Amino acid sequence: IGTFIVWFNFGPTPALIFALVNAVAVLIIACPCALGLATPLSIMVGTGKGAQNGILIRSAEALETAHKLNTLVLDKTGTITKGQPSLTDVVPVDGNDADELLRLVASAERSSEHPLGQAIVRGAEDKGMKLTEPGEFESVTGKGIKVSVDGKKLLVGNRRLLDDADIKTVNLEKEAERLAVEGKTSMFIAIDGKPAGVVAVADTVKEDSAAAIATLRKLGIEVVMITGDNQHTAEAIAKQVGIERVLAEVLPQDKALEVKRLQGENKIAGMVGDGINDAPA
């Protein structure tokens, strides 16, 4: 109190500022425990405010060092886009029927919790299709699903899933590339070990994504998009929001490695995602 009074009455202008700064300095020197209490309290308030707005911060250290970031990695689905995909295309190959292909795939996806799978189910139901309960169901992380439907063995997922089963995907890749240019995500379908077609879904970009990314770039922060989607689809979405660097076809378990790789480029990188699979990164 004495320090405040002396500086307020006899100190230079602005007297109030100098009085407060010096009074706080004396308080910290005399009782440093006050600062020890204030720091974690401010972190707690910050994380609490974030949680109220749907933002979960991984650790106190991440919040403390956030002002040093020069690179921000954004997951695509649910962060840049709305995370509400809808069915857009069903492209059969080798004589398969489009409606039957959709019915089988939608039936297979009934046990899936993946947003893309749910979009296919909704699309089939909107067409009034009667879906059947799937039999054996296996989810392959980062690749797709293996399901038995009406006695048929279906593979529904990306190219890697079919490659693992030694199924040729040349015809499917041509269709997928065409759809990817339009910003659509394609899922490859195989039935009983043979390529059957491609089902595509599309997710729309959030209204404020482009503006938010532009603001980050003005602050000198490089924005990088990371996704498990194919390169063409990822680049189409990135172009819409003004992102130049894209990390595509990254498996969920490899996202943390990609962030570490960026840090190895002398970048101070942070990661923003919306799914449990983004948490390690």
Distance of alpha carbon 107 from alpha carbon 191, whole angstroms: 13
Report yes or no: 226 and 249 within 8 Å, Cβ to Cβ: no
Report yes or no: 225 and 76 within 8 Å, Cβ to Cβ: yes
Catalytic (active site) residue 75: yes
User: Which residues are tagged catalytic?
Assistant: 75
